[in-house]
A and B are shown apart, each in its own frame.
Chain A
Amino acid sequence: MSAHTDTYDPKVNYLNTDWSIKSWLLTLDHKRIAWLYLVSISGFFVLGGIFALLIRLELLTPQGDLLSPDGYNRVFTQHGVLMIFLFLIPSIPAVLGNFLVPLMCGAIDVAFPRLNLASWYIYTIGGILIVIALITGGVDTGWTFYTPLSSTYANSQVMFVALGVFIAGFSSILTGLNFLVTIHTMRAPGLTWGRLPLFLWGTYATSLINVLGTPVVAITIGLVGAERTLGLGIFDPALGGDPVLFQHLFWFYSHPAVYIMILPAFGVISELISAFSRKRVFGYSFIAASSVGIAVLGFIVWAHHLFTTGMSVYAATVFSALTMLIAVPTAVKMINWTTTMYQGAVKWDTPMLYAVGFLGLFLIGGLTGVMLATLGIDIHVHDTYFVVAHFHYVMVGGAIMGFLGGLHFWWPKMTGRLYPESFSKVSAVLIFVGFNATFFPQFILGYMGMPRRYHAYPEEFQVLNIFSTAGASILGVGYLLPLVYFTWSIVAGKKAPENPWGAMGLEWRIPSPPPTENFVKEPVITDAYDYEHEILKEQIEEIARDEAAAVPSTA
Chain B
Amino acid sequence: MSTHADSALAHHFESFEQQRTAASLGMWLFLAQELMFFGGLFTCYLIYRSLNSLDFAIASSELDITLGGINTAVLITSSLTMALGVKAAQLAKKNQLIGYLLATILLACCFLVIKYFEYAAKFEHHTVPGQHFEFHVPPDLIEKFELGPERLVQMEKRAEIFFSVYFAMTGLHGLHVLIGIGIAIWLLFPASRGKFNMDYHAPVENFGLYWHFVDLVWIFLFPLLYLLGRNIHA
Contact = CB atoms under 8 A, between A and B. Distances in A.
A523 interface: no
Interface in A104-131: 107-109, 111-113
B159 to A, nearest CB: 9
A306 interface: no
Interface string A202-220: 0000000001111110111
Nearest to B163: A232
Closest 6 CB pairs of A and B: A231-B130, A215-B37, A219-B40, A232-B164, A215-B36, A109-B12
B32 interface: yes
Contacts of B167: 230, 232
B231 interface: no
B26 A213 contact: no
11 contacts: A2-B1, A113-B12, A181-B25, A214-B33, A218-B37, A219-B38, A223-B41, A234-B44, A234-B165, A239-B160, A240-B158
Interface stretch (B14-22, B62-70, B94-102, B212-220): B14-22
B26 A239 contact: no
Contact of B168 (A1, A173, A213, A232): A232
A2 B33 contact: no
Give the residue among A109, A186, A219 with the most B Cβ atoms within 10 A: A219
Interface stretch (A241-249, A278-286, A309-317): A241-249
Interface residues of A, number: 43
B11 interface: yes
Contacts of A178: 26
Contacts of A109: 12
Given A215-B33, A233-B129, A249 B26 contact: no
Dominant secondary structure at the A interface: helix
A238 to B, nearest CB: 7
Contact of B12 (A107, A212, A241, A245): A107
B143 to A, nearest CB: 23
A185 interface: yes
Contact of B33 (A111, A211, A222, A238): A211
Interface in B1-50: 1-4, 10-12, 14, 18, 21-22, 25-26, 29-30, 32-34, 36-41, 43-44, 47-48
Given A186-B18, A231-B130, A181 B41 contact: no
Interface size class of B (residues with CB under 8 A): 35 or more
Nearest to A235: B44
Contacts of B38: 219
Contact of B157 (A230, A232, A234, A240): A240
Contact of A216 (B11, B40, B165): B40
A185 B11 contact: no
A231 to B, nearest CB: 3
Contacts of A112: 22, 26
Given A112-B26, A241-B164, 4 more contacts: A215-B33, A216-B40, A220-B40, A242-B47
A363 B37 CA distance: 34
Given A1-B1, A108-B11, A240-B157, A234 B33 contact: no
B37 A216 contact: yes
Interface string A453-480: 0000000000000000000000000000
